[in-house]
Amino acid sequence: MSAYPWLARHVLAPTLDTLRGTRTMQRMGELEQLQWWPASRIREAQAQRLQRLISRSYECVPFYRRLMDERGIRPGDIRSPDDLACLPALTKNTIRAHLEDLLVRDVPRERLRSGRSGGTTGERLDYYSTREERLTFAHARWLLSLEWSGAQFGETHLSIRQMTAGTSGRETRMLHRASLRLQRLERIDTMRVTEENLPALVSLIQRTKPRSLFAYPSALALIASYARDHDLSCPTVHAVCVGGERLQDRQRAVLQQVFGSEPCIRYGSNELHSVAAQCEAHGGLHIHADDFIIEVVDDDGNLLSPGTRGRLLVTSLHNHGMPFIRYETGDIGALLPGACPCGRGLPLLVPLIGRTAERVYGANGRCADAMDLDIGRALPPGVVNYQLVQETVDRFVLSVVPAAGNEGNSWDPVPGRVADMITSATGSRPRIDLHLVDSIAMNLSGKRLPFISHVYPATSRAERDRR
Ligand SMILES: [Zn+2]
Protein backbone atom coordinates (compact mmCIF):
# COMPACT_ATOMS: atom_id res chain seq x y z
CA MET A 1 0.00 0.00 0.00
CA SER A 2 1.25 3.49 -0.85
CA ALA A 3 2.57 5.63 2.01
CA TYR A 4 1.23 8.76 0.37
CA PRO A 5 -2.24 8.77 2.03
CA TRP A 6 -0.56 8.64 5.48
CA LEU A 7 1.79 11.47 4.54
CA ALA A 8 -1.07 13.54 3.10
CA ARG A 9 -3.31 13.00 6.12
CA HIS A 10 -0.76 13.43 8.90
CA VAL A 11 1.81 15.85 7.47
CA LEU A 12 0.77 17.71 4.32
CA ALA A 13 -2.87 18.49 5.13
CA PRO A 14 -2.14 19.72 8.69
CA THR A 15 0.59 21.96 7.21
CA LEU A 16 -1.90 23.36 4.72
CA ASP A 17 -4.35 23.95 7.58
CA THR A 18 -1.69 25.98 9.38
CA LEU A 19 -0.90 28.01 6.25
CA ARG A 20 -4.50 28.96 5.57
CA GLY A 21 -5.72 29.18 9.16
CA THR A 22 -8.21 26.32 8.99
CA ARG A 23 -8.55 23.21 11.18
CA THR A 24 -10.02 20.70 8.75
CA MET A 25 -7.90 17.75 9.82
CA GLN A 26 -8.48 18.43 13.52
CA ARG A 27 -12.21 18.53 12.85
CA MET A 28 -11.94 15.32 10.81
CA GLY A 29 -10.35 13.67 13.87
CA GLU A 30 -13.21 14.93 16.06
CA LEU A 31 -15.82 13.55 13.64
CA GLU A 32 -14.06 10.19 13.52
CA GLN A 33 -14.46 9.97 17.30
CA LEU A 34 -17.95 11.44 17.51
CA GLN A 35 -19.47 9.02 14.98
CA TRP A 36 -19.11 6.17 17.50
CA TRP A 37 -20.69 8.05 20.43
CA PRO A 38 -24.03 6.74 21.68
CA ALA A 39 -27.03 8.48 20.10
CA SER A 40 -27.95 10.17 23.41
CA ARG A 41 -24.54 11.84 23.70
CA ILE A 42 -24.70 13.00 20.07
CA ARG A 43 -28.12 14.56 20.77
CA GLU A 44 -26.72 16.42 23.80
CA ALA A 45 -23.90 17.91 21.72
CA GLN A 46 -26.40 18.80 19.00
CA ALA A 47 -28.60 20.65 21.52
CA GLN A 48 -25.63 22.70 22.75
CA ARG A 49 -24.71 23.73 19.21
CA LEU A 50 -28.34 24.61 18.50
CA GLN A 51 -28.54 26.86 21.58
CA ARG A 52 -25.42 28.71 20.44
CA LEU A 53 -26.80 29.10 16.88
CA ILE A 54 -30.18 30.43 18.08
CA SER A 55 -28.61 32.82 20.56
CA ARG A 56 -26.21 34.22 17.98
CA SER A 57 -28.91 34.46 15.31
CA TYR A 58 -31.08 36.47 17.72
CA GLU A 59 -28.21 38.79 18.66
CA CYS A 60 -26.66 39.38 15.24
CA VAL A 61 -29.10 38.48 12.43
CA PRO A 62 -31.85 41.10 11.83
CA PHE A 63 -34.21 38.58 10.18
CA TYR A 64 -34.21 36.29 13.20
CA ARG A 65 -34.28 39.13 15.76
CA ARG A 66 -37.47 40.47 14.10
CA LEU A 67 -39.03 37.03 13.59
CA MET A 68 -38.50 35.95 17.20
CA ASP A 69 -39.61 39.30 18.64
CA GLU A 70 -42.81 39.18 16.56
CA ARG A 71 -43.58 35.72 17.89
CA GLY A 72 -42.54 36.44 21.47
CA ILE A 73 -39.79 33.82 21.36
CA ARG A 74 -36.66 34.25 23.50
CA PRO A 75 -33.42 32.40 22.60
CA GLY A 76 -33.71 30.41 25.85
CA ASP A 77 -37.02 28.96 24.65
CA ILE A 78 -35.20 26.84 22.05
CA ARG A 79 -33.01 24.40 23.95
CA SER A 80 -33.28 21.21 21.90
CA PRO A 81 -34.29 20.11 18.38
CA ASP A 82 -37.81 19.42 19.73
CA ASP A 83 -38.25 23.16 20.41
CA LEU A 84 -37.42 24.23 16.84
CA ALA A 85 -41.02 23.84 15.66
CA CYS A 86 -41.87 27.27 17.14
CA LEU A 87 -39.96 28.81 14.22
CA PRO A 88 -41.33 28.74 10.65
CA ALA A 89 -39.59 26.92 7.81
CA LEU A 90 -37.06 29.00 5.89
CA THR A 91 -38.07 28.77 2.24
CA LYS A 92 -35.99 29.63 -0.82
CA ASN A 93 -38.40 32.47 -1.59
CA THR A 94 -37.87 33.87 1.93
CA ILE A 95 -34.10 33.78 1.37
CA ARG A 96 -34.45 35.61 -1.94
CA ALA A 97 -36.70 38.26 -0.36
CA HIS A 98 -34.61 38.80 2.82
CA LEU A 99 -31.05 37.93 1.83
CA GLU A 100 -29.48 41.07 3.33
CA ASP A 101 -31.31 40.67 6.64
CA LEU A 102 -30.28 37.04 6.88
CA LEU A 103 -26.57 37.92 7.01
CA VAL A 104 -24.83 38.15 10.35
CA ARG A 105 -24.06 41.77 11.28
CA ASP A 106 -20.79 41.38 13.19
CA VAL A 107 -18.79 39.77 10.36
CA PRO A 108 -17.81 42.05 7.43
CA ARG A 109 -19.40 40.99 4.14
CA GLU A 110 -15.99 40.50 2.52
CA ARG A 111 -15.19 37.83 5.09
CA LEU A 112 -18.25 35.82 4.12
CA ARG A 113 -18.08 33.52 1.11
CA SER A 114 -20.81 33.83 -1.47
CA GLY A 115 -22.28 31.02 -3.46
CA ARG A 116 -24.96 30.56 -6.07
CA SER A 117 -26.95 27.42 -6.50
CA GLY A 118 -28.26 26.51 -9.96
CA GLY A 119 -31.46 25.17 -8.47
CA THR A 120 -32.96 21.90 -9.65
CA THR A 121 -36.15 23.70 -10.63
CA GLY A 122 -34.16 26.25 -12.60
CA GLU A 123 -34.26 29.14 -10.11
CA ARG A 124 -31.01 30.60 -8.82
CA LEU A 125 -30.39 30.95 -5.11
CA ASP A 126 -27.67 33.22 -3.70
CA TYR A 127 -26.34 32.37 -0.27
CA TYR A 128 -23.41 33.05 2.05
CA SER A 129 -21.41 31.05 4.53
CA THR A 130 -18.42 31.56 6.76
CA ARG A 131 -15.00 30.50 5.61
CA GLU A 132 -14.84 28.16 8.60
CA GLU A 133 -18.09 26.44 7.60
CA ARG A 134 -16.82 25.74 4.10
CA LEU A 135 -13.15 24.97 4.65
CA THR A 136 -13.24 23.32 8.06
CA PHE A 137 -16.67 21.86 8.82
CA ALA A 138 -17.95 21.02 5.32
CA HIS A 139 -14.62 19.69 4.14
CA ALA A 140 -14.25 17.48 7.22
CA ARG A 141 -17.75 16.07 6.66
CA TRP A 142 -16.84 15.32 3.06
CA LEU A 143 -13.67 13.53 4.15
CA LEU A 144 -15.60 11.44 6.66
CA SER A 145 -18.13 10.47 3.95
CA LEU A 146 -15.20 9.45 1.79
CA GLU A 147 -13.96 7.17 4.57
CA TRP A 148 -17.44 5.65 4.94
CA SER A 149 -17.43 4.76 1.26
CA GLY A 150 -14.11 2.93 1.65
CA ALA A 151 -11.61 5.47 0.31
CA GLN A 152 -8.98 7.47 2.16
CA PHE A 153 -7.76 11.02 2.10
CA GLY A 154 -4.90 11.22 -0.43
CA GLU A 155 -6.15 8.42 -2.68
CA THR A 156 -7.06 9.51 -6.21
CA HIS A 157 -10.56 10.92 -6.32
CA LEU A 158 -12.49 12.13 -9.35
CA SER A 159 -15.37 14.46 -8.59
CA ILE A 160 -17.84 15.36 -11.34
CA ARG A 161 -20.13 18.05 -9.98
CA GLN A 162 -21.65 21.44 -10.51
CA MET A 163 -19.02 24.15 -10.26
CA THR A 164 -20.64 26.98 -8.32
CA ALA A 165 -19.72 30.63 -8.65
CA GLY A 166 -17.94 32.13 -5.66
CA THR A 167 -15.58 34.92 -4.78
CA SER A 168 -12.08 34.39 -3.46
CA GLY A 169 -8.72 36.13 -3.61
CA ARG A 170 -5.57 35.03 -5.41
CA GLU A 171 -3.93 33.59 -2.29
CA THR A 172 -7.08 31.63 -1.43
CA ARG A 173 -7.21 30.21 -4.95
CA MET A 174 -3.55 29.13 -4.75
CA LEU A 175 -4.09 27.37 -1.42
CA HIS A 176 -7.24 25.78 -2.82
CA ARG A 177 -5.29 24.40 -5.77
CA ALA A 178 -2.63 23.11 -3.37
CA SER A 179 -5.39 21.42 -1.34
CA LEU A 180 -6.80 19.68 -4.45
CA ARG A 181 -3.37 18.52 -5.47
CA LEU A 182 -2.36 17.06 -2.12
CA GLN A 183 -5.69 15.26 -1.89
CA ARG A 184 -5.18 13.91 -5.44
CA LEU A 185 -8.60 15.30 -6.14
CA GLU A 186 -9.55 16.01 -9.73
CA ARG A 187 -12.72 17.99 -10.36
CA ILE A 188 -14.76 18.07 -13.55
CA ASP A 189 -17.73 20.35 -14.15
CA THR A 190 -20.79 18.17 -14.61
CA MET A 191 -21.85 20.47 -17.48
CA ARG A 192 -19.04 18.78 -19.44
CA VAL A 193 -20.82 15.43 -19.26
CA THR A 194 -22.29 15.68 -22.75
CA GLU A 195 -22.64 12.96 -25.38
CA GLU A 196 -19.67 14.27 -27.41
CA ASN A 197 -17.40 14.30 -24.33
CA LEU A 198 -18.15 10.72 -23.25
CA PRO A 199 -15.11 9.12 -25.00
CA ALA A 200 -12.79 11.65 -23.29
CA LEU A 201 -14.43 11.11 -19.87
CA VAL A 202 -14.10 7.31 -20.13
CA SER A 203 -10.50 7.80 -21.15
CA LEU A 204 -9.91 10.07 -18.13
CA ILE A 205 -11.22 7.35 -15.79
CA GLN A 206 -9.07 4.73 -17.53
CA ARG A 207 -6.00 6.96 -17.21
CA THR A 208 -6.43 8.22 -13.64
CA LYS A 209 -7.76 4.93 -12.17
CA PRO A 210 -9.53 6.74 -9.32
CA ARG A 211 -9.98 4.97 -6.01
CA SER A 212 -13.21 6.93 -5.61
CA LEU A 213 -15.64 8.73 -7.90
CA PHE A 214 -18.44 11.18 -7.18
CA ALA A 215 -21.12 12.35 -9.64
CA TYR A 216 -24.85 12.74 -10.16
CA PRO A 217 -26.23 9.26 -10.90
CA SER A 218 -27.54 10.35 -14.32
CA ALA A 219 -24.13 11.73 -15.35
CA LEU A 220 -22.16 8.74 -14.11
CA ALA A 221 -24.63 6.24 -15.56
CA LEU A 222 -24.30 7.99 -18.92
CA ILE A 223 -20.51 7.61 -18.81
CA ALA A 224 -20.78 3.99 -17.63
CA SER A 225 -23.37 3.14 -20.31
CA TYR A 226 -21.08 4.54 -22.99
CA ALA A 227 -18.16 2.44 -21.72
CA ARG A 228 -20.32 -0.69 -21.59
CA ASP A 229 -21.92 -0.19 -25.00
CA HIS A 230 -18.54 0.46 -26.67
CA ASP A 231 -16.68 -2.36 -24.90
CA LEU A 232 -14.32 0.08 -23.18
CA SER A 233 -13.03 -1.54 -20.03
CA CYS A 234 -12.92 0.70 -16.94
CA PRO A 235 -10.80 0.08 -13.84
CA THR A 236 -12.54 -1.13 -10.68
CA VAL A 237 -13.48 1.92 -8.64
CA HIS A 238 -13.58 0.99 -4.97
CA ALA A 239 -15.89 3.82 -3.88
CA VAL A 240 -18.56 4.94 -6.35
CA CYS A 241 -20.47 7.78 -4.68
CA VAL A 242 -23.59 9.38 -6.08
CA GLY A 243 -25.81 12.23 -4.92
CA GLY A 244 -27.92 15.17 -6.06
CA GLU A 245 -30.51 12.92 -7.68
CA ARG A 246 -32.38 9.75 -6.77
CA LEU A 247 -30.39 6.65 -7.83
CA GLN A 248 -32.54 4.52 -10.13
CA ASP A 249 -32.25 0.73 -10.24
CA ARG A 250 -31.04 0.68 -13.87
CA GLN A 251 -28.37 3.28 -12.99
CA ARG A 252 -27.24 1.22 -10.00
CA ALA A 253 -26.98 -1.86 -12.24
CA VAL A 254 -24.79 -0.21 -14.90
CA LEU A 255 -22.53 1.42 -12.29
CA GLN A 256 -22.00 -1.94 -10.58
CA GLN A 257 -21.37 -3.67 -13.89
CA VAL A 258 -18.83 -1.11 -15.17
CA PHE A 259 -17.04 -0.02 -11.97
CA GLY A 260 -17.38 -3.26 -10.00
CA SER A 261 -18.74 -1.89 -6.72
CA GLU A 262 -22.02 -1.05 -5.01
CA PRO A 263 -22.70 2.73 -5.22
CA CYS A 264 -22.79 4.76 -1.99
CA ILE A 265 -25.60 7.33 -1.81
CA ARG A 266 -24.98 10.82 -0.41
CA TYR A 267 -27.33 13.66 0.40
CA GLY A 268 -26.39 17.34 0.35
CA SER A 269 -26.64 20.53 -1.66
CA ASN A 270 -24.49 23.41 -2.82
CA GLU A 271 -25.62 25.62 0.03
CA LEU A 272 -25.34 22.98 2.78
CA HIS A 273 -22.59 20.74 1.34
CA SER A 274 -22.52 17.12 2.67
CA VAL A 275 -25.48 16.50 4.96
CA ALA A 276 -25.74 12.69 5.11
CA ALA A 277 -24.11 9.68 3.48
CA GLN A 278 -24.21 5.91 3.41
CA CYS A 279 -21.56 3.94 5.24
CA GLU A 280 -20.10 0.60 4.18
CA ALA A 281 -23.36 -1.12 5.29
CA HIS A 282 -25.17 0.60 2.34
CA GLY A 283 -28.31 1.07 4.49
CA GLY A 284 -29.71 4.36 5.76
CA LEU A 285 -27.72 7.57 5.23
CA HIS A 286 -25.90 8.68 8.40
CA ILE A 287 -26.79 12.30 9.15
CA HIS A 288 -23.79 14.46 10.11
CA ALA A 289 -25.64 15.22 13.35
CA ASP A 290 -22.94 17.36 14.92
CA ASP A 291 -23.47 19.79 12.04
CA PHE A 292 -27.16 19.37 11.15
CA ILE A 293 -30.62 18.74 12.54
CA ILE A 294 -33.10 17.24 10.08
CA GLU A 295 -36.83 17.45 10.70
CA VAL A 296 -39.53 15.88 8.53
CA VAL A 297 -42.87 17.70 8.22
CA ASP A 298 -46.10 17.27 6.27
CA ASP A 299 -47.54 19.83 3.82
CA ASP A 300 -49.05 21.76 6.76
CA GLY A 301 -45.76 21.88 8.66
CA ASN A 302 -46.64 19.23 11.28
CA LEU A 303 -43.71 17.12 12.49
CA LEU A 304 -43.73 13.53 11.26
CA SER A 305 -42.32 10.57 13.13
CA PRO A 306 -39.40 8.47 11.83
CA GLY A 307 -40.44 6.21 8.98
CA THR A 308 -43.05 8.65 7.64
CA ARG A 309 -42.17 10.52 4.47
CA GLY A 310 -42.48 14.30 4.25
CA ARG A 311 -40.64 17.55 3.51
CA LEU A 312 -37.09 17.80 4.83
CA LEU A 313 -36.21 20.84 6.98
CA VAL A 314 -32.49 21.17 7.64
CA THR A 315 -30.86 23.31 10.32
CA SER A 316 -27.16 23.93 9.77
CA LEU A 317 -25.49 24.23 13.17
CA HIS A 318 -22.20 25.82 12.07
CA ASN A 319 -23.03 28.39 9.41
CA HIS A 320 -23.14 31.43 11.67
CA GLY A 321 -22.65 33.77 8.68
CA MET A 322 -26.09 33.17 7.22
CA PRO A 323 -28.12 30.85 9.44
CA PHE A 324 -30.11 28.12 7.73
CA ILE A 325 -32.67 27.32 10.43
CA ARG A 326 -35.41 24.86 9.39
CA TYR A 327 -34.33 25.37 5.77
CA GLU A 328 -36.81 23.81 3.36
CA THR A 329 -34.53 22.15 0.84
CA GLY A 330 -37.30 21.13 -1.56
CA ASP A 331 -36.56 17.46 -0.88
CA ILE A 332 -38.86 14.78 0.45
CA GLY A 333 -37.67 11.86 2.53
CA ALA A 334 -37.96 10.20 5.92
CA LEU A 335 -35.89 9.58 9.01
CA LEU A 336 -35.08 5.90 9.42
CA PRO A 337 -35.94 4.44 12.82
CA GLY A 338 -33.41 2.17 14.53
CA ALA A 339 -29.65 1.90 14.32
CA CYS A 340 -27.24 1.01 11.53
CA PRO A 341 -25.53 -2.41 11.83
CA CYS A 342 -22.15 -0.60 11.58
CA GLY A 343 -22.59 0.61 15.19
CA ARG A 344 -22.28 4.35 14.52
CA GLY A 345 -24.57 6.43 16.72
CA LEU A 346 -25.43 8.98 14.06
CA PRO A 347 -29.15 9.13 13.14
CA LEU A 348 -30.30 7.80 9.78
CA LEU A 349 -32.15 9.07 6.73
CA VAL A 350 -34.00 6.74 4.35
CA PRO A 351 -31.93 6.49 1.12
CA LEU A 352 -34.92 7.17 -1.11
CA ILE A 353 -35.02 10.97 -1.37
CA GLY A 354 -37.19 12.79 -3.91
CA ARG A 355 -38.16 16.35 -4.75
CA THR A 356 -41.30 18.16 -3.68
CA ALA A 357 -41.52 19.53 -7.23
CA GLU A 358 -41.78 15.97 -8.56
CA ARG A 359 -45.51 15.45 -8.21
CA VAL A 360 -47.82 13.82 -10.71
CA TYR A 361 -51.33 15.30 -10.91
CA GLY A 362 -54.44 13.56 -12.14
CA ALA A 363 -57.32 15.22 -14.00
CA ASN A 364 -59.40 14.39 -10.89
CA GLY A 365 -57.19 16.64 -8.72
CA ARG A 366 -55.41 13.78 -6.93
CA CYS A 367 -51.62 13.77 -6.88
CA ALA A 368 -48.81 11.33 -6.15
CA ASP A 369 -45.04 11.56 -5.64
CA ALA A 370 -43.26 10.84 -8.92
CA MET A 371 -40.57 8.95 -6.95
CA ASP A 372 -43.18 6.22 -6.37
CA LEU A 373 -43.62 5.64 -10.10
CA ASP A 374 -41.07 3.10 -11.21
CA ILE A 375 -41.03 4.13 -14.87
CA GLY A 376 -37.88 2.07 -15.45
CA ARG A 377 -39.99 -1.09 -15.00
CA ALA A 378 -42.25 -0.06 -17.88
CA LEU A 379 -39.29 0.12 -20.26
CA PRO A 380 -37.59 -2.74 -22.12
CA PRO A 381 -33.91 -3.46 -21.40
CA GLY A 382 -31.34 -1.38 -23.26
CA VAL A 383 -32.34 2.11 -22.14
CA VAL A 384 -29.66 4.73 -21.43
CA ASN A 385 -31.96 7.39 -20.01
CA TYR A 386 -35.54 8.62 -19.94
CA GLN A 387 -37.55 11.64 -18.91
CA LEU A 388 -41.27 11.89 -18.21
CA VAL A 389 -42.79 15.37 -18.62
CA GLN A 390 -46.31 16.13 -17.45
CA GLU A 391 -47.56 18.70 -19.97
CA THR A 392 -51.19 18.88 -18.77
CA VAL A 393 -53.29 17.00 -16.23
CA ASP A 394 -54.14 14.39 -18.87
CA ARG A 395 -51.08 14.32 -21.13
CA PHE A 396 -47.48 13.21 -20.54
CA VAL A 397 -44.51 13.05 -22.90
CA LEU A 398 -42.06 10.21 -22.27
CA SER A 399 -38.65 10.69 -23.94
CA VAL A 400 -36.43 7.62 -24.02
CA VAL A 401 -32.78 7.30 -25.07
CA PRO A 402 -32.28 3.70 -26.29
CA ALA A 403 -28.81 2.17 -25.98
CA ALA A 404 -26.99 1.64 -29.29
CA GLY A 405 -28.58 -1.29 -31.15
CA ASN A 406 -31.80 -1.22 -29.09
CA GLU A 407 -33.75 1.27 -31.19
CA GLY A 408 -35.70 -1.58 -32.76
CA ASN A 409 -36.97 -2.93 -29.41
CA SER A 410 -40.68 -3.33 -28.97
CA TRP A 411 -41.74 0.07 -27.66
CA ASP A 412 -45.48 -0.27 -28.43
CA PRO A 413 -46.53 -1.53 -24.95
CA VAL A 414 -44.60 1.22 -23.11
CA PRO A 415 -47.21 4.05 -23.21
CA GLY A 416 -49.91 1.67 -21.94
CA ARG A 417 -47.70 0.44 -19.07
CA VAL A 418 -46.82 3.99 -18.00
CA ALA A 419 -50.47 5.05 -18.23
CA ASP A 420 -51.37 2.06 -16.01
CA MET A 421 -48.81 3.18 -13.38
CA ILE A 422 -50.10 6.75 -13.33
CA THR A 423 -53.71 5.57 -13.24
CA SER A 424 -53.08 3.41 -10.23
CA ALA A 425 -51.28 6.32 -8.47
CA THR A 426 -53.78 9.09 -9.23
CA GLY A 427 -56.98 7.30 -10.22
CA SER A 428 -57.10 9.09 -13.54
CA ARG A 429 -55.82 7.78 -16.90
CA PRO A 430 -53.64 10.12 -18.96
CA ARG A 431 -52.39 9.95 -22.56
CA ILE A 432 -48.69 9.10 -22.94
CA ASP A 433 -46.77 10.25 -26.02
CA LEU A 434 -43.54 8.27 -26.45
CA HIS A 435 -40.52 9.73 -28.26
CA LEU A 436 -37.22 7.96 -28.88
CA VAL A 437 -34.51 10.63 -28.64
CA ASP A 438 -30.70 10.87 -28.78
CA SER A 439 -30.24 12.62 -25.43
CA ILE A 440 -31.99 14.18 -22.44
CA ALA A 441 -31.14 17.84 -21.90
CA MET A 442 -29.40 18.94 -18.70
CA ASN A 443 -30.98 21.61 -16.53
CA LEU A 444 -29.07 24.58 -15.02
CA SER A 445 -27.58 22.32 -12.34
CA GLY A 446 -26.33 19.79 -14.87
CA LYS A 447 -28.98 17.24 -13.88
CA ARG A 448 -31.04 15.15 -16.25
CA LEU A 449 -34.28 15.01 -14.34
CA PRO A 450 -36.37 11.81 -14.71
CA PHE A 451 -39.55 13.80 -14.15
CA ILE A 452 -40.64 17.37 -14.89
CA SER A 453 -44.08 18.83 -14.25
CA HIS A 454 -45.60 21.77 -16.08
CA VAL A 455 -48.81 21.35 -14.10
CA TYR A 456 -49.50 23.43 -11.02
CA PRO A 457 -53.12 23.20 -9.94
CA ALA A 458 -54.48 26.38 -8.29
CA THR A 459 -54.64 24.52 -5.00
CA SER A 460 -50.88 24.05 -4.97
CA ARG A 461 -49.96 27.74 -5.17
CA ALA A 462 -48.60 27.61 -1.61
CA GLU A 463 -46.49 24.64 -2.59
CA ARG A 464 -45.12 26.48 -5.64
CA ASP A 465 -44.26 29.48 -3.44
CA ARG A 466 -42.26 27.23 -1.18
CA ARG A 467 -39.73 26.38 -3.88
ZN1 LIG B 1 -23.66 2.68 9.22
CA of 279 to the centre of ligand 1 (A): 5
pLDDT at 424: 95
If you classify domain 359-465 with CATH, what class do you get?
alpha beta
pLDDT tens figures, 394-433: 999 999 999 888 877 789 999 999 999 999 999 999 999 9
Q: In what order do the strands lie in the sheet with 395-402?
A: 431-436, 395-402, 383-392, 451-453
pLDDT at 43: 96
pLDDT at 167: 52
Confidence of residue 179 (pLDDT cuts 50, 70, 90): confident
Confidence of residue 465 (pLDDT cuts 50, 70, 90): very low
Pairing of strands 212-215, 157-161: parallel
Q: Residue 386's beta-bridge partner residues?
A: 400
Per-residue three-class SS string for 257-290: HHHCCCCEEEEEECCCEEEEEECCCCCCEEECCC
CA of 269 to the centre of ligand 1 (A): 21
**DSSP letters spanning 20-84:** HT--HHHHHHHHHHHTTS-HHHHHHHHHHHHHHHHHHHHHH-HHHHHHHHHHT--GGG--SGGGG
CA of 237 to the centre of ligand 1 (A): 21
CA of 343 to the centre of ligand 1 (A): 6
pLDDT tens figures, 188-197: 999 999 999 9
CA of 339 to the centre of ligand 1 (A): 8
Q: If we measure between CA atoms, which residue out of 231, 322, 232 comes closest to residue 272?
A: 322
Torsion of CA 400, 405, 410, 415, to 10 degrees: 0
pLDDT at 460: 43
Residue 461 has pLDDT above 50, yes or no: no
* Residues with Cβ–ion distance below 5 A, ligand 1: 279, 281, 340, 342, 344
CA of 98 to the centre of ligand 1 (A): 38
CA of 167 to the centre of ligand 1 (A): 36
CA of 422 to the centre of ligand 1 (A): 35
pLDDT at 459: 44
Q: If we measure between CA atoms, which residue out of 324, 332, 288 comes closest to residue 308?
A: 332
Residue 388 has pLDDT above 90, yes or no: yes
Q: Kindly state the average pLDDT of the residues 332-352.
A: 96
In CATH, what number does 4-350 get?
Answer: 3.40.50.12780
Q: Where are the domains of the chain?
A: 4-350, 359-465
